Amino acid sequence: MSLRISDLEAIPVSVPFCEPFEIAGGAAEEARHVILRLTSTGGEAGYGESAPMSSYSPQSQDGVMREIERIRPLIIDANPLHTERFHAEVRRREIDSFAAAGVDIALHDLGARCLDIPVSEMFGGPVCDGVELSWAIGLKPAERMVDEALRFKRIGFRTVKIKIGRDPEADLERVRQVREAVGPDVKIKVDANQGYDLQTATEVGRELEVLDVSVFEQPLPRGSLDEMAYLREHIDIPVMADESLYNIRDGYEILKYGSADIFNIKIMKPGGLYPSSKLVHLAESAGMACMLGSMPELGIGTLGGLQLASTSDVFTYGSELIGPWMLEDHLLVDTPQLRDGKVILPAGNGLGIKVDETKLERYRT
């Protein structure tokens, strides 16, 4: 098969959440994503996904579509295996990372399909057959959080993450009720999505210790690396960086300041699988544990993240590749496979997926 790209198609889609997903930055009722389809001169197709989330990121679906037009000249007639060249141009032209991520995933899917190998083999091969998941519960009344946590405990999830960050007293009550309901065998993480100041985060963190919370994610604003380091020294819960960690430079700064115990790597933020793999290597070199997060993506982006997460043992904090179960549809022929709280690495070359073209047209905007 020819390793040259002949066409790039960007398809905007809108898929409703099963219920609105709310975090400290706002609520999302639908996933307004962009599906990318790359075609080789030999007729092979590779798929990617860009997943902007308005309550988390300033990027939008319309913005991604505009950025794709800036990317198009970099892609046509290019070799899909030349990801370093692509990302060098992305950096030089200051192209948005969410748009670049969708194209990057499609490059890997197409390149691996042309080579007749899974994407995981492009990153050294899998070290496991699947990745343990953590279920994320959006901001909502405590009793509804309890119901959701118990539902996913019953189907095998061993970790849940609770969104907090608006009202410290109400946040702690939510965590208390969930802990009482799920018992000691389920790990609880909390995520404030930058919602607290340092004093509040310190006070809340000390209360969370009593509730056996295993992770305190992004309690402070993105740029507060010195305050994050102070917080780490004054509470006994590991601190996870999310909004503070977009790219490898951010990772270096977090390590320099000692601002976090854990990286939350989301493949949208650095620009796709290839730059995310560099964050994985940075974490490995520093002995830093990781979680593979999500925006959350539909099926394409979810299984792109899984291909990468399966290739390293640094992902020890329950990955959040849960978009296909949070959204009304995933746009694939086959639903990603769950087994005892793990998402299983699919067989087959590329991402191991088959896109449902009928669904793609149904949700096209």
Which residue segment(s) compose the domain that 43 sits in?
A: 5-117+357-363
Q: Are residues 163 and 230 in the same domain?
A: yes
**Angle, in degrees to the nearest 10, between helices 97-115 and 273-286:** 100
Q: CA torsion sign, 321 to 326 to 331 to 334?
A: positive
Does 350 fall in a domain? no
Q: What is the mean pLDDT of residues 238-248?
A: 97
> Using one digit for the tens of pLDDT, what is the confidence trace for 18-66?
999 989 888 889 999 999 999 999 999 999 999 998 777 788 999 999 9
Do residues 259 and 239 touch, judged by C-beta distance below 8 A? Answer: yes
Question: So what's the pLDDT on residue 2?
Answer: 59
Q: Are residues 303 and 171 in the same domain?
A: yes
Do residues 96 and 67 touch, judged by C-beta distance below 8 A? Answer: yes
Do residues 76 and 107 touch, judged by C-beta distance below 8 A? Answer: no
Residue 345 has what DSSP assignment?
P
Q: Are residues 204 and 302 in the same domain?
A: yes
Q: Are residues 209 and 315 in the same domain?
A: yes
Burial tier of 3 (Cβ tally within 10 Å: 0-12, 13-18, 19+): middle
Q: Are residues 132 and 111 in the same domain?
A: no
Q: Report the CATH number that the domain containing residue 109 is assigned in CATH.
A: 3.30.390.10
Q: Are residues 237 and 274 in the same domain?
A: yes
Please check the confidence at residue 76 and state whether its pLDDT lies above 70.
yes
> Using one digit for the tens of pLDDT, what is the confidence trace for 250-260?
999 999 999 99
How far is residue 217's CA from residue 164's CA, in Å, rounded to a whole number?
A: 10
Does 349 fall in a domain? no
Does 49 fall in a domain? yes
Task: Report how many domains make up the chain.
Answer: 2
Do residues 86 and 78 touch, judged by C-beta distance below 8 A? Answer: yes
Q: What percent of the chain has pLDDT over 90?
A: 95
Does 44 fall in a domain? yes
Please check the confidence at residue 336 and state whether its pLDDT lies above 60.
yes
Does 132 fall in a domain? yes
Q: Are residues 107 and 130 in the same domain?
A: no
Q: Are residues 269 and 198 in the same domain?
A: yes
Q: Are residues 85 and 171 in the same domain?
A: no
Q: Are residues 162 and 299 in the same domain?
A: yes
The residues, any chain, with a CB within 8 Å of residue 192's CB and separated by 6 or more, are 24, 164, 165, 171, 201, 204, 216, 217, 218, 219, 220
Pair type for strands 262-265 and 239-241 = parallel
Q: What is the mean pLDDT of residues 210-239?
A: 98
Helix (H) or strand (E) holding 305: helix 299-309
* Predicted confidence band of residue 318 (pLDDT cuts 50, 70, 90): confident
Question: So what's the pLDDT on residue 26?
Answer: 85
The DSSP bridge partners found for residue 239 are: 216
Q: Are residues 279 and 333 in the same domain?
A: yes
pTM given for the model: 0.96
Closest CA to 58 of 97, 106, 22: 97
How far is residue 255's CA from residue 259's CA, in Å, rounded to a whole number?
A: 7
Please state, as a whole number, how many other Cβ atoms lie within 10 Å of the Cβ of residue 171.
Answer: 25
Do residues 275 and 248 touch, judged by C-beta distance below 8 A? Answer: yes
Does 285 fall in a domain? yes
What are the structure tokens assigned to 54, written together? 């308005």
Does 352 fall in a domain? no
Q: Are residues 43 and 146 in the same domain?
A: no
Q: Report the CATH number that the domain containing residue 275 is assigned in CATH.
A: 3.20.20.120
Does 137 fall in a domain? yes
